């Protein structure tokens, strides 16, 4: 096996293991702290630092990755996740909102360090992917799609471990498994993996090409559009209006994420005939964003007119998952394709900083808009955000086809 491919598979396996714990810890926190008497909005507040510190992590993490190596960045993220899991094993009396937000901040930092390292490693470790747009698109889509499917599986894993071992037993199980993966990864990967030949200055983290800036702006609104309805509004609506149990709500959200991940991994095959071997371009991004913007608007219209509300929402969100997966896969490919080897970790870090910023705004708006305008208001705002993403995507480069 080619050495670069072997190292990439090690990075991917480590990322998959981390992703399972990331989904599991989120479900553990949601279910356990609801059981302790926290309101839904208080539970949502526990994740604000998770998203906020993702912005900082992606901004600085890409620069660090170019200087010290992607494997060290990834291993640091795994170590921080182990610390975050362990922090929550303290007695209930210690589990204040501030304390849990701190633990979630560490988990958010860990998540974005791992994601940045895994995405950047494709360009660094797989020369064949760098040389061929279709191959690069396939590898990026498989990595991103499998990550989302595993995160959905992590939701199930968290609920199962909570039922089998209670909260602290579940946390100890997850941290032990991740520690084992960390040790194996350290043993299998060489030092300095993905380190840039030329040391980037810290001031260069804001010095990006025009296409990276426009793509990052589009990503900000794309993921903000999802989280406006996904984080707080949807769980509350399913539980309070449809009278779903918490287990039903959790199962639907997990299935939605898994399905989204499966579609995302299949996007290169779905779009193969549309990009003529050149890979997606700016035209692809703007086209699919416009299609996506129609979906939440139609769901909102159906709910506003009481048109088979439950069917309209569920079927509409399934369609949203499929089209959103195409948008996300195209974006993830473009940021890697438009970055050279020495700048890939910095560009990916900057891009995912915008992603984290959009998720933070979406999380905040999800609670506020739902409280004042209901689920239909959240969906209308979602549609407006996607239209903004489409507008920014218009400025992205188009491929020159022969």
Q: Check whether 192 has a pLDDT greater than 70.
A: no
| CB burial of residue 85 (10 Å; 0-12, 13-18, 19+) | buried
Q: Check whether 293 has a pLDDT greater than 90.
A: yes
Tokens representing residue 402 in the block: 């022969």
d(CA 233, CA 109): 25
Q: Check whether 30 has a pLDDT greater than 80.
A: no
Q: Check whether 24 has a pLDDT greater than 60.
A: yes
Phi, psi of 190 (to 5 degrees): -75, 160
> What's the mean pLDDT when you consider all of the chain?
83
d(CA 242, CA 35): 20
In angstroms, the Cα distances linking 339 to 112, 119, 141, 276, 390 are 19, 12, 17, 21, 21
- For the question of whether the overall pTM of this predicted structure is more than 0.85, the answer is no
Q: 3-192+206-393 falls under which CATH superfamily?
A: MFS general substrate transporter like domains (1.20.1250.20)
249 versus 357: which is more confidently predicted? 357
Phi, psi of 146 (to 5 degrees): -65, -35
| CB burial of residue 174 (10 Å; 0-12, 13-18, 19+) | buried
Residue 357: in which H helix or E strand, if any? Answer: helix 344-393
Q: If pLDDT is split at 50, 70 and 90, which confidence band does 275 have? A: low
Q: If pLDDT is split at 50, 70 and 90, which confidence band does 135 have? A: confident
Contact status, residue 383 vs residue 289, Cβ threshold 8 Å: no
Phi-psi region of 199 (alpha: psi -120 to 50; beta: other; left: phi over 0): beta
| pLDDT tens column, 343-385 | 666 777 788 888 889 988 998 888 788 888 999 999 999 999 9
Contact status, residue 280 vs residue 397, Cβ threshold 8 Å: no
Q: What is the mean pLDDT of residues 59-65?
A: 69
22 versus 129: which is more confidently predicted? 22
């Amino acid at each position: 096996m080619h050495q670069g491919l072997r190292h990439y598979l090690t990075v991917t396996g480590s990322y998959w293991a981390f992703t399972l714990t990331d989904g599991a810890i989120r479900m553990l926190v949601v279910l356990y702290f609801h059981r302790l008497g926290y309101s839904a909005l208080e539970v949502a507040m526990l994740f604000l630092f998770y998203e906020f510190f993702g912005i900082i992590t992606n901004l600085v993490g890409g620069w660090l990755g170019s200087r010290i190596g992607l494997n060290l960045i990834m291993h640091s993220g795994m170590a921080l996740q182990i610390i975050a899991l362990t922090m929550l094993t303290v007695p209930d009396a210690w589990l204040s909102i501030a304390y849990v937000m701190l633990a979630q901040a560490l988990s958010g930092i860990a998540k974005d360090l791992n994601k940045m390292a895994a995405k950047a490693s494709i360009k660094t470790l797989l020369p064949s992917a760098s040389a061929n747009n279709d191959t690069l698109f396939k590898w990026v889509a498989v990595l991103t799609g499998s990550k989302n499917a595993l995160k959905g599986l992590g939701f199930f894993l968290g609920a199962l471990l909570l039922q089998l071992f209670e909260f602290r037993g579940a946390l100890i199980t997850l941290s032990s498994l991740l520690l084992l993966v960390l040790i194996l990864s350290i043993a299998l990967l060489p030092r300095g993996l993905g380190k840039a030949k030329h040391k980037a200055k810290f001031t260069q983290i804001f010095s990006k090409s025009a296409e990276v800036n426009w793509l990052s702006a589009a990503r900000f609104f794309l993921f903000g559009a999802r989280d406006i309805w996904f984080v707080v509004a949807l769980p509350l609506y399913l539980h309070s209006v449809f009278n779903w149990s918490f287990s039903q709500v959790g199962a639907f959200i997990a299935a939605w994420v898994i399905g989204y991940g499966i579609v995302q991994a299949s996007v290169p095959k779905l779009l193969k005939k549309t990009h003529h071997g050149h890979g997606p371009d700016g035209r692809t991004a703007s086209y699919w964003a416009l299609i996506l913007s129609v979906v939440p608007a139609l769901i909102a219209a159906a709910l506003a007119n009481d048109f088979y509300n439950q069917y309209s929402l569920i079927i509409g969100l399934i369609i949203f998952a499929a089209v959103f997966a195409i948008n996300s896969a195209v974006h993830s490919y473009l940021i890697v394709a438009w970055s050279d080897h020495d700048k890939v970790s910095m560009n990916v870090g900057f891009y995912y900083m915008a992603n984290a910023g959009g998720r933070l705004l979406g999380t905040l708006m999800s609670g506020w808009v739902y409280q004042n305008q209901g689920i239909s208001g959240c969906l209308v705002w979602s549609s407006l955000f996607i239209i903004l993403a489409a507008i920014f995507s218009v400025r992205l480069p188009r491929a020159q086809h022969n």
